[in-house]
Amino acid sequence: MMDKKQVAAVLDQMGTLLELQNANPFRIRAFQNASQIIEGITEDLDDLVDRQTLTDIDGIGQGLAKIITDLVKTGSSREYEDLRKSLPAGLLDIIRIPGLGPKRVRLLYEKLKIDSVEALKRACETHQLAELTGFGEKTEQNILRGIERLRKTSEKHLVPRAAESAEKMLKAISRLKAVKRCEVAGSLRRRKEVIGDIDIVASVEEKHRASIVKVFVSQPEVSSVVAQGETKATVVLTNGINCDLRLVRDNEYPFALNYFTGSKEHNVEMRSLARRKGWSLNEYSFSLLKGAKKQSRIPVCRNEEDIYKALGLSYVPPELRENMGEFDASRKGAVPKLLEEKNLRGTFHVHSTYSDGANSLEELTKAAQKLGWDYWGVADHSQIAVYAQGLSPEKVNEQRREIENLNARLKNFRVFHGTECDILSDGTLDYSNDVLAGFEYVVASIHSKFNMNESEGTKRLIKAVRNKYVTMIGHPTGRVLLSRDGYPCDMVQVIDAMADYGKAIELNAHPSRLDPDWRLLKYAKEKGVKVFINPDAHNADGLRDVRYGVGVARKAWLEARDVGNAWPTREVEKFFAAIRA
């Protein structure tokens, strides 16, 4: 009745409702934690329920297992219904307003009967809040601004846009003489697929703090200042993204950087590990735990590596800090050597002037050479894509001849001839097998009929995966395969099929459309499915967009050998040939 996404949402909501009820904070955390766990599992939730193995998962006990089982089986649960009935639904909207937490939401409801954002807005405008103890005029103003901000920033920001702003702000800070070290932290450093806000950490002598904060808040990118203190400032940038600056002493810097990089889940585990050594860990330092039975001497930590070392761990790259197995790997010294941008030797999903691309084969080749690559692959649209000048079989032959001529002239560089072939609604492909056999590789993509139900959608894709000439499944429209709210299909099943048939998957890194789910990518890696980081480029500049995919690939623990475009030319040729063999 409910899938894992829905179950996760319900558990999170139960946590919030418990907060509003002023319940035991650890009980609250148990629900929030469980929500995270369920969202992250790659096994089939139905299976776990049927086999009654939910309690094998760390963090899920008898109580939560019962609730989850009820939700999956019946679509509801006694505990959930009781909680939901105990408070008006509108409070769940109100609590999302920045500056309002469970205590004050509860108070507003009890004293002023405020049970919706609209009612709250009216109450602020008529200054009813200021009459309550603990509230004043300033708070009313802040809430009104919060309501407005929530409306504007409810959507999260994509990595490339946030990265661009972050670079500008970082540059403004780092060029100041008083700043010793500074770096972007937070989810941007962890390369999450979407970014909430930008965190910058800087080390600076105390006497210079005020001047640094002043420079920060007066940057041209800043549209308003939310908070400005001695060690912290928060601003809203002109593009609507929040940006935080934290100032610390230089000896505190590694701790601050680590702390503000997160994730929260990673930090919680770090602190637990510190406690076991008899230390307390915060954003400034280790300190000896008062009254601990066993205490170890605290080593000097000059950088993040030292902190991990102190806890008996090898360095954990920011992309892996999600408490999703990185501590185990780190203890065993088995942290993978993650993909680097410089590992990439080329890319394969590129459109030329033959279909809807803006640059010729020659121009694209020059751009790829300029990036230091060894190859690239053309993948123009197939014939049904009339809107994009999809290629007829005759045109395909013409293109092949041009590529052969080009390759004959090129030294130490190779252009591959592929296609982005449409998967039709019945799962068959837009070219006959005869035509497909003429390509070196085939990216099979969906551009039509996005409103199928999940089982039909899954069948359609798996049928395409089975086609002997398909090399990799692409995701052309952005809201597709590896994204959580994309094309209706059970991606786990599709990945299983790819593993069975030795096919690859495309991580489409087109920046304007990026929202790939790294958990699914990680699952693909575990299954041995190769990944190609492709830009879906329509011009020469677009080739560079692969760099946005590298961060997501790192989050999924991908190493150079897991990624097709990190292989040398010969290996790529072999892989393509093996698929049709």
Partner DNA sequence: GCCGTTTTCGGCCCGACTGTTTTCAGTCG
Kindly tell me which of 102 and 549 has the beta carbon lying closer to DNA.
102
Closest approach of DNA to the CB of residue 390, in Å: 46
Query: Apex CA 22: angle with CA 127 and CA 105, to 5°?
Result: 20
CB 327 within 8 Å of CB 269: yes
Closest approach of DNA to the CB of residue 194, in Å: 15
Pairing of strands 279-281, 242-248: unpaired
> Whole-angstrom Cα distance, residue 37 to residue 31?
10
CB 18 within 8 Å of CB 83: yes
> Whole-angstrom Cα distance, residue 119 to residue 239?
29
> Whole-angstrom Cα distance, residue 515 to residue 485?
9
Residue with token string 């009967």: 113
> Which ranges constitute the DSSP H helices of 442-514?
454-466, 491-501
Kindly tell me which of 140 and 420 has the beta carbon lying closer to DNA.
140
* Residue 198, strand partner residues: 243
CA quadruple 47, 51, 52, 53: dihedral positive or negative?
A: negative
CB 260 within 8 Å of CB 283: yes
Closest approach of DNA to the CB of residue 62, in Å: 5
Kindly tell me which of 243 and 498 has the beta carbon lying closer to DNA.
243
Kindly tell me which of 27 and 111 has the beta carbon lying closer to DNA.
27
Closest approach of DNA to the CB of residue 136, in Å: 2
Kindly tell me which of 158 and 268 has the beta carbon lying closer to DNA.
268
Closest approach of DNA to the CB of residue 334, in Å: 21
* Residue 417, strand partner residues: 378
Angle of helix 253-261 versus helix 264-276 axis, rounded to 10: 130
Closest approach of DNA to the CB of residue 49, in Å: 14
Kindly tell me which of 140 and 322 has the beta carbon lying closer to DNA.
140
| Structure-block tokens of residue 453 | 């139900």
Tell me phi and psi for residue 551, to 5 degrees: -60, -45
CB atoms within 10 A of CB 202: 25
Closest approach of DNA to the CB of residue 315, in Å: 21
Kindly tell me which of 291 and 412 has the beta carbon lying closer to DNA.
291
Amino acid at residue number 69: T
Closest approach of DNA to the CB of residue 252, in Å: 10
Kindly tell me which of 24 and 432 has the beta carbon lying closer to DNA.
24
Closest approach of DNA to the CB of residue 539, in Å: 37
Closest approach of DNA to the CB of residue 232, in Å: 4
* Residue 472, strand partner residues: 443, 504
Closest Cα to residue 298, out of 314, 282, 320?
282
> Whole-angstrom Cα distance, residue 289 to residue 269?
16
Kindly tell me which of 65 and 202 has the beta carbon lying closer to DNA.
65
Kindly tell me which of 130 and 178 has the beta carbon lying closer to DNA.
130
> Whole-angstrom Cα distance, residue 129 to residue 141?
10
> Which ranges constitute the DSSP H helices of 113-158?
117-125, 137-153
Closest approach of DNA to the CB of residue 464, in Å: 40
> Whole-angstrom Cα distance, residue 436 to residue 220?
53
Closest approach of DNA to the CB of residue 61, in Å: 3
Kindly tell me which of 112 and 492 has the beta carbon lying closer to DNA.
112
Residues present in the chain in total: 581
Identify the burial level of 277 via C-beta atoms within 10 angstroms of its C-beta, where 0-12 means exposed, 13-18 middle and 19 or more buried: buried
Neighbour-count burial for 469-488, b at 16+ CB within 10 Å, e otherwise: bbbbbbbbbeebbbbeebbe
- 380: helix, coil or strand? strand
Q: For binding to DNA (CB under 7 A), which residues are involved?
A: 24, 26-27, 29-31, 34, 55, 57-65, 79, 97-105, 130, 133-140, 142, 186, 197, 199, 227-232, 242, 244, 260, 264, 267-268, 271-272, 275-276, 280-284, 293-294
Closest Cα to residue 234, out of 309, 149, 171?
149
Kindly tell me which of 276 and 463 has the beta carbon lying closer to DNA.
276
Kindly tell me which of 55 and 116 has the beta carbon lying closer to DNA.
55
Closest approach of DNA to the CB of residue 111, in Å: 13
